[in-house]
Amino acid sequence: MIPDLKIGKHRVPYPLIQGGMGVRVSGYRLAGHVAKSGGVGLVAAAGLALNSPYYSGKNYYEADALALKEELRKAYEIAPDGVIGVNCMVAVKNYDDSVRASCEGGAKLIVSGAGLPLSLPGLTADYPDVALVPIVSSLKAAQLIARKWHKGFDRLPDAVVVEDPDTAGGHLGEKLENIGRGDYDQYATVRAVKDYFKTQWSLDIPVIAAGGVWDRQDILHAVEQGADGVQMASRFVCTEECDASEKFKEAYLRCNPEDIGLIMSPAGLPGRALKENIDHIRQRDVDAGLRCPSGCLKKCAYKENQERFCIVHALDRAQQGDIDTGLVFCGTNAWKADRICTVQDIFDELFG
């Protein structure tokens, strides 16, 4: 039996959260159609100002908040009764504004990682029905969040996502040297987090497994191992409804396992991506003499000393179809994509 999923006051028929993918890879179309099919759809908040009608080139933060509200509005046009939320990265400078804009735009939950979301309950205090879901990779991180939230805000998570840094795509919540050593046990962490909230707080909240989930067997395995649901991102890229360009999707269809690897983001976090063009991304910014155009990150090696590259614009270029000098984030299973299908096709395969 595959159960349904209840997070806070919100319930979906299938225990699946579609992972947030920026910039605008999981925008309103993907999030809306996942919600329409019975899962939790997430809009990725990062970088939405770019290529939005609100951006003048000088008002990044204001435009970012307006564009996020617009994505949510359009997503709810697709799934008026669906559960739609936002993935908000702690690492961005306008994190507080993104969280507030998410609430004002009608997000039913906020999933937050790329750092510890210690201030999240305070930012959402006026929206008590918005479910709060931190992303962690360790029991220690979950414990720290719980203690800080309880002491500062009398609030605890409505669910926790446990992300496997050995398989997940995008920014990862683990030190680079600890990834891929073979000693990380995701489902031991899932069970430990679940047990911690039960024994320490008398709270039975969903614990969601993220990273490396591709097919029905992966979901069944996750549930058998103690997870209440899964988060899937890469699987939804090669769908008609994904907001990325066709060339972005073709990069997934063409890639092999050896094309996928770890990079260091200018945000100071490791990430998993298609790695062969990383030098081209760097050289493009060097040749253009690009300085920090948006100031999007709290900590940025490119802004501070021109190391690596401007990540938000690299992600934006890839989303638009420039996969030569654009950054294509992906999980370890991206090579398994072999066709373009619909979101509903995936739900039928996973849960039919």
Q: Which domains, and CATH codes, for the chain?
A: 5-243+338-351 (3.20.20.70), 247-320 (no CATH)
CA-based nearest residue to 272, from 230, 233, 303: 233
Q: Which two tokens stand for residue 228?
A: 């209440």
SS3 state of residue 168: coil
Residue 195 has pLDDT above 80, yes or no: yes
Asked if residue 295 has pLDDT above 90, the reply is no
- Within its chain, how far is the Cα of 125 from the centroid? 23
User: Would you state the pLDDT for residue 214?
Assistant: 98
Whole-number pLDDT of residue 70 = 98
For the segment 277-302, the average pLDDT, to the nearest whole number, is 88
Q: What does the pLDDT look like over 80-106, one tens digit per residue?
A: 999 999 999 999 999 999 999 999 999
The region of weakest confidence among 22-26, 89-93, 286-290 is: 286-290
- 41 forms beta bridges with 84
Average pLDDT of the chain to the nearest whole number: 96
Is the pTM higher than 0.75? The answer reads yes
Instruction: For residue 236, give both structure tokens.
Output: 């939804």
Q: What is the pLDDT of residues 242-269, one digit of tens each?
A: 999 999 999 999 999 999 999 999 999 9
**pLDDT above 80 (res 204):** yes
- Which percentage of the chain shows pLDDT scores above 70? 100
Contacts of 345 (CB under 8 A, 6+ apart): 239
Res 312: pLDDT: 95
Mean pLDDT of 104-109: 98
Residue 188 has pLDDT above 80, yes or no: yes
Phi-psi category of residue 321: left, alpha or beta, with phi > 0 → left and psi -120 to 50 → alpha: left
Return the closest-CA partner of residue 123 out of 159, 73, 174, 86: 86
SS3 302: helix
CA distances in angstroms from 72 to 28, 65, 107, 195, listed in the order given = 6, 11, 7, 34
In this structure, are residues 101 and 65 in contact, taking their beta carbons and an 8 Å threshold? yes
121 near 153, Cβ under 8 Å?
A: yes
Q: pLDDT, tens digit, for every residue of 112-132? A: 999 999 999 999 999 999 999
What distance separates the 2 farthest-apart alpha carbons in the chain? 57
For 138, the 3-state DSSP assignment is coil
Q: What is the pLDDT of residues 45-68, one digit of tens each?
A: 999 999 999 999 999 999 999 999
d(C-alpha 266, C-alpha 302), whole Å: 6
pLDDT, one tens digit per residue, over 164-183 is 999 999 999 899 999 999 89
pLDDT at 283: 92
DSSP SS3 for 170: strand
Is residue 64 within 8 Å of residue 22, measured between CB atoms? no
Segment 180-184 long-range contacts (CB within 8 Å, at least 24 positions apart): 180/262, 184/137
Q: Check residue 197 and give its pLDDT.
A: 98
End-to-end Cα separation, the chain, in angstroms: 12
